[in-house]
Structure 1
């Protein structure tokens, strides 16, 4: 069963306080750590700045959408994100769930 994670994030004052070289070094470490997770089946569907023209948009500046083959792989990415110190540098919100059909989604909404 496929699992998904959506991250919404915005750099905070701790990130803004880093020099450009410190940011590059930190992000280089993140990129290196991601190599092992990609081998486990972590698949980034998109990592992008949020379109500010869309109605009802989030106030966050960036979005990442991830696909995982299973829950354990999703949790491995979440553990890596936390261990990297990411949450110290970004105002961050996660949303996660499993793949369902449109009909299953409507049924879940109806039954809340």
Structure 2
């Protein structure tokens, strides 16, 4: 079963203090590291702004990733941390194996 990582994040003051050129340089360095993660099977699914009218989360942005296994998930989380992401963005993560709807209902039943 594939694993999934969902991130919710908002900019911190350190990010807001960066110039446009500094932000672009930072994102260029992140793009360089994506090749190694892609080789591990890390697949970016979606990125965007959270919809404030739908059970609003306090975070402004989201990302969703599909990963082949727990090792790739650990590599992605480690890679994100290594970029200094958490210095710039307040982040909440949810991750785990993806299951189908009936299996998820079984998970919920067992709680």
Interval of TM-score (by shorter of Structure 1 and Structure 2) = over 0.9
Partners of 2:106 and 2:99 in 1: CA distance? 11
Partners of 1:49 and 1:38 in 2: CA distance? 23
Q: How many residues align?
A: 111
Residue 109 of structure 1 and its aligned partner are, at CA, apart by 1.2
- 2:47 corresponding residue in structure 1: 47
Q: TM-score, normalised by structure 1?
A: 0.94
1:1-112 mapped onto 2 (5 Å cutoff): 1-54=1-54, 56-112=55-111
Q: What's the RMSD between the two structures over aligned residues?
A: 0.9
Residue 52 of structure 1 and its aligned partner are, at CA, apart by 2.1
Structure 2: any 5+ residue segments left out of the alignment?
none
1:7-48 CA deviation, whole Å, 9 max, x = no partner? 000001010011111111111101111121112111011011
Residue 53 of structure 1 and its aligned partner are, at CA, apart by 2.6
Partners of 1:75 and 1:49 in 2: CA distance? 25
Q: TM-score, normalised by structure 2?
A: 0.95
